[in-house]
Amino acid sequence: CINTPGSYRCECAPGTTLTDNACKYIDECSDNEICSENMICENKDGGYSCLCKEGYKKDREGYCLDVDECRTNPCTKNDTTCENLEGTYICVCPD
């Protein structure tokens, strides 16, 4: 807090808010709309980060796009074929 003539005022650092005469960290991740699609919010002291969900990778514009796991041919047993899905993949057995 800062003394002023006849009073005082309290200021908090960015990413915090004054609550009950104390600076407390803001949970920006409580706002479900803070990160874009296919991202998860990671709350940090004084801020937050938006990270791609598993199975997604950030592109140059900052969007999380589906990773094509089938490009690395993960399905190698019993003549299975890979089918890419949003955020994951499955190995499909032959008919």
pLDDT per position as a tens digit, 10-47: 888 888 888 888 888 888 898 888 999 999 999 987 78
* Residue 26 counted as domain residue: no
* Residue 85 counted as domain residue: yes
* Residue 54 counted as domain residue: no
* Residue 90 counted as domain residue: yes
pTM of the model as a whole:
0.67
The residue range of the domain holding 79 is: 65-94
Cα–Cα–Cα angle for 19, 20, 24, rounded to 5 degrees: 35
* Residue 36 counted as domain residue: no
Domain count, the chain: 1
φ and ψ at 7, to 5 degrees? -165, -160
* Residue 83 counted as domain residue: yes
CA 74 to chain centre: 26
* Residue 20 counted as domain residue: no
φ and ψ at 43, to 5 degrees? -75, 135
* Residue 19 counted as domain residue: no
Residues 6+ apart with CB under 8 A from 81: 75, 91, 92, 94
Q: How confident is the model at residue 85 (pLDDT cuts 50, 70, 90)?
A: very high
How far apart are the C-alpha atoms of 87 and 95, rounded to whole Å? 25
